[in-house]
Structure 1
Amino acid sequence: MLDFHVSASPSVSLPPQDCGSAGLTALAQSAEFARALKALGQAPDVLPELHNSLVTTRRFATGLRLAMINRAMLPQPSQLPAALRANGLGKTPVILSPEHPCPALAQIGALPLVSPACVAQLDLGNTAAQRKAALHQKWRNRLTRAQSNGLKVSRQNMPLDARHWLFAADQVQQQQRGYRSWPIALTLAYAQENKGKAKLFQAFSGSEVVAAILILRHGRGATYHIAHTTPAGKSLSAHNLLMWEAMSWLAAQGCQQLDLGLINTEEAPGLARFKLGTGARLSQLGGTWALWLPMGRLLSPLARWDSRLMSATSR
């Protein structure tokens, strides 16, 4: 059932709701993500010594076990070896992707693999007028045009249907653009295990759906998860309208930040412009590192030599 169905311009007044007490953690480190993994039989390990950082593991056919710590806050990397050992991961190779630049990982023997990328983070704590003023001019113009095009916007919980049109469109889009997103089963598990936190926004021109955005809420934040716009939707600037409606609704719920995902100006310049046009700021991640504690002392000189690639000033 739809939560609401309104015309493009009016806003629905809803009582604010706290998006949780977990704080502004990345989706991959949220309690909501952990619940989804557990539902699929892939419960992550937790490192209590490091702010309950989530660790996912994968075992290959060869028997090798690989651990991954994605977008965790690592303010004191020197504590990581002890935390891994205390939780049975002392002999397991680990792939680390910190939330922020963390060149100090080289001091514990971690090897840099991929230099830091950037994500777009949108502050939702301002007033509606402030958020609108922060929009880039072309973005604001497209929003104004979309609001005058007679589009209708709906919001609902994501249907638990693997055959939903948005999933099918996203699969085609992934193949065309050469990237991989979550498995559909994981997105559905997230929606099922976190009631009301997987919100689908759709834009309609008459009875035809022309665009959709799926937003995942977690803690006091949210993440832009899947989106698709048809050619008709592009001509009507429907994506701008949906993003604005999603921003407004999330802010009304008390959510403080919307993670718009990676910015890739080389391979997806149009999407990068769209994300940054919302007024979002760039936030640099910490790159990707490999850590295997049994080899730490042998590799630490090489790690320190290469760590300059992972500093906050690298581009």
Structure 2
Amino acid sequence: MFDTIALASPPLQQSAEFAAALAFCGQQAAQLDDGTLALTRRICGIPIALLSRARLDPPLLPGLIARAGLRRHLILMNPETPCPGLERLGAVPLITPAHVAELDLTGNLMAGLHQKWRNRLRHARSQGLHMTQAPLPLAPAHWLLTAESAQQRARGYRNWPTALTLAYARANPGAAQLFTAHQSGIPVAGLLILRHGMAASYHIGHSTPAGRAASAQTLLMWQAMTWLTTQGATRLDLGPVETEQTPGLTRFKLGTGARARPLGGTWAWWPPLGKTLRPLARLDRARMYQSWTEAPAPDY
């Protein structure tokens, strides 16, 4: 159904590595005939199946869901790409599409950098930072993991629980790579990259005030980018970009030369209802389609 490169570099949430991490945590993901992973659980007694970052072919979906034994589940879908065909199935859009930044690692990385990003890289190189790289230590109290947890609480966002990040590292030896910048022997910035297939994903990044002053995160990202190319990776997923909520992080991500592209939004579908709810989907059509065409742009 998909070309060879697409199959070899699935999104993180649809990768064999992610499935292995879930299994390590004791949670098995259902798998459709086409390889799509579906996370199943019950919420208030309702069986739910989540298809996150899935490459969907709507006409085939009813059969795939039925053969996986999920026909009585509420299906929540966050397609990897815009997927208007879900509307024709009777799926209802819940959340308009987010945009993600993706960096092509097969071209000239230096040529793709925005000039201000290149300037920060030059600045970081002059700060006497000592750089290290190693697999993520399997320690819940590691400074980067505790800093990320504290940052989530302070800023009110959610990332993976620490247990899942550690399970990913345990289930996939060497796939969770930690890049660290030290100043006078003290870590001032860290970057955690997760490998999956021929792709990789930016997972955690944190800088102390000293690290920010030294542009350490820029140098860490550059080291990660160049290392990934030596490992044969073709794509780096830098995660969501949002110009209003996180303009600085968006500039950082897009300054690498990454391109912003829309996902497919979040949809809900209960197969027993069939196409009954198609009229509701039409009400949100304009809003969903507008989100698919409006990509964030770096404001330098």
Task: Tell me whether the two structures share a fold, i.e. TM-score over 0.5.
Answer: yes
Q: Structure 1 residue 262 and structure 2 residue 240: aligned? A: yes
Give the aligned partner of residue 287 of structure 2. Answer: 309
Consecutive unaligned residues in structure 2, runs of 5 or more: 296-300
Give the aligned partner of residue 39 of structure 1. Answer: 24
Q: Structure 1 residue 94 and structure 2 residue 75: aligned? A: yes
Q: Aligned partners of 1:27, 1:177: CA distance in 2, in Å?
A: 24
Q: Aligned partners of 2:267, 2:287: CA distance in 1, in Å?
A: 11
Q: Structure 1 residue 69 and structure 2 residue 41: aligned? A: no
Q: Structure 1 residue 125 and structure 2 residue 125: aligned? A: no
State which drifts further: 81-90 or 297-306: 297-306
Q: Aligned partners of 1:89, 1:201: CA distance in 2, in Å?
A: 41
Asked if the contact 1:35/1:193 (under 8 Å) is kept, the reply is yes
State which drifts further: 51-60 or 185-194: 51-60
Which one of 188, 194, 200 corresponds to residue 166 of structure 2?
A: 188
Shift of 1:21: 9.3
> How many pairs align?
289
Give the aligned partner of residue 59 of structure 2. Answer: 78
Asked if the contact 1:217/1:223 (under 8 Å) is kept, the reply is yes
Consecutive unaligned residues in structure 1, runs of 5 or more: 1-19
Q: Aligned partners of 2:92, 2:100: CA distance in 1, in Å?
A: 22
Shift of 1:304: 3.1
Which one of 18, 39, 59 corresponds to residue 56 of structure 1?
A: 39
Give the aligned partner of residue 199 of structure 2. Answer: 221
Asked if the contact 2:91/2:275 (under 8 Å) is kept, the reply is no
1:236-247 → structure 2 map (5 Å cutoff): 236-247=214-225
Q: Aligned partners of 1:21, 1:281: CA distance in 2, in Å?
A: 17
Asked if the contact 1:99/1:285 (under 8 Å) is kept, the reply is yes
Runs of 4+ in structure 1 off by over 3 angstroms are none
Asked if the contact 1:22/1:30 (under 8 Å) is kept, the reply is no
The Cα offsets for residues 94-123 of structure 1, whole Å up to 9 and x where unpaired, read as 110000000110000000011111100011
Q: Aligned partners of 2:85, 2:6: CA distance in 1, in Å?
A: 29
The secondary structure found in structure 1 opposite 2:244 is coil
Q: Structure 1 residue 109 and structure 2 residue 90: aligned? A: yes
The secondary structure found in structure 2 opposite 1:255 is coil
The Cα offsets for residues 235-271 of structure 1, whole Å up to 9 and x where unpaired, read as 0000000000000000110000100000011111000
Shift of 1:283: 1.4
Asked if the contact 2:88/2:275 (under 8 Å) is kept, the reply is no
Paired amino acid for 2:62? P
Report sequence identity in percent: 51
Q: Aligned partners of 1:257, 1:314: CA distance in 2, in Å?
A: 22
Asked if the contact 2:262/2:293 (under 8 Å) is kept, the reply is no
Shift of 1:296: 2.6
Q: Aligned partners of 2:8, 2:240: CA distance in 1, in Å?
A: 21
The secondary structure found in structure 1 opposite 2:275 is helix
Give the aligned partner of residue 163 of structure 1. Answer: 141
Shift of 1:314: 5.7
Give the aligned partner of residue 15 of structure 1. Answer: none
CA RMSD after TM alignment: 1.4
Give the aligned partner of residue 298 of structure 2. Answer: none
Q: 1:21 to 1:259 in 2, by over 3 A?
A: closer
Q: Aligned partners of 2:275, 2:77: CA distance in 1, in Å?
A: 18
Q: 1:208 to 1:263 in 2, by over 3 A?
A: same
Q: Structure 1 residue 235 and structure 2 residue 218: aligned? A: no
The Cα offsets for residues 1-36 of structure 1, whole Å up to 9 and x where unpaired, read as xxxxxxxxxxxxxxxxxxx99512100000000000
The secondary structure found in structure 1 opposite 2:131 is strand
Q: Aligned partners of 1:314, 1:78: CA distance in 2, in Å?
A: 27
Which one of 120, 123, 135 corresponds to residue 145 of structure 1?
A: 123
Shift of 1:313: 2.6
